[in-house]
Every structure is written in C-alpha cells, then in structure tokens.
C-alpha cells in the first residue's frame, strides 16, 4: 500500500465520524421548534444529543482501537435499520454513512501495521 493510501485509510474514518457527529447533532435542534419552556427545551435538547455523546466517546476509543469504531458504528446502523420505520432513503442517510465508516475502521484495523509505519 502506498504512503498516501495509508494516511487516507487512517484519517478518513475519523474525519467522516466527526462530520457524521456534526450532522446527527443538527437533528437535536428540532426540539426548539416546539413551544416549550427554556428548561424543557434544554432537557429535550440534551436528550436528543445522546447519540452524539455515544459517537464522541466511540471516536475517542476508536482513535486508538479501530475495532471499537467498527462494532459501535455497525451496531448503530443495524439498530436504526431494525428499530425505526421510515422511508427507505432515511436508511441510506443514517445507516449508510455509519456502515461506510465501520468498513473504513475495520480496514484500518486490519492494515494497522502498514499504516503505523507510514506515520
């Protein structure tokens, strides 16, 4: 594997996870559309951010141990597919990126020795 490919394989799942966390966090803002008091809106906002918190903790651990990112991202994707009923496109928007990130993390884990020599 070439030097640039090793760096891309190392950084791409991490950057994509950060971007996905940002996008998922935007969904929590819908709580402010409702006519709630300040404390109710704040508590609803914090509750809606629970998946974001889990993904941030996952990213912290996956930065060192890629297999953690693979397991959690795959688990989240499968949980969303089997738990929520919606239009088929919602599965691509939520579960699709998670599965891509999981594949990139597992590839990074499998190629770990080659990647470490590139850094």
- Give 119's contacts (C-beta < 8 A, 6+ positions apart): 6, 7, 10
Position 117 scores a pLDDT of 62
Which stretches of the chain are DSSP H helices? 3-26, 38-48, 50-62, 66-83, 88-110, 112-118
Q: How many domains does the chain have?
A: 1
Position 12 scores a pLDDT of 94
Position 118 scores a pLDDT of 54
For the chain, list residues with pLDDT below 50: none
CA distances from 46 to 22, 42, 54, 78 (A): 15, 6, 12, 24
Position 74 scores a pLDDT of 96
Count of other CB atoms within 10 angstroms of residue 83: 7
pTM for the complete prediction?
0.84
Cα separation, 82 vs 14, whole angstroms: 25
Q: Structural domain of residue 109, as residue ranges?
A: 3-118
Position 4 scores a pLDDT of 77
Position 101 scores a pLDDT of 96
């Amino acid at each position: 594997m070439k030097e640039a490919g090793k760096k891309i394989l190392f950084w791409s799942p991490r950057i994509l996870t950060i971007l996905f966390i940002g996008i998922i966090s935007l969904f929590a803002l819908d709580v402010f559309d409702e006519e709630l008091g300040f404390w109710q809106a704040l508590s609803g906002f914090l509750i809606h951010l629970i998946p974001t918190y889990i993904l941030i903790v996952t990213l912290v651990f996956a930065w060192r141990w890629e297999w953690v990112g693979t397991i959690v991202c795959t688990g989240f994707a499968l949980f969303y597919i089997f738990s929520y009923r919606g239009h088929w496109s919602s599965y691509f928007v939520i579960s699709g990126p998670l599965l891509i990130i999981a594949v990139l993390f597992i590839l990074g884990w499998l190629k770990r020795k080659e990647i470490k020599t590139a850094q």
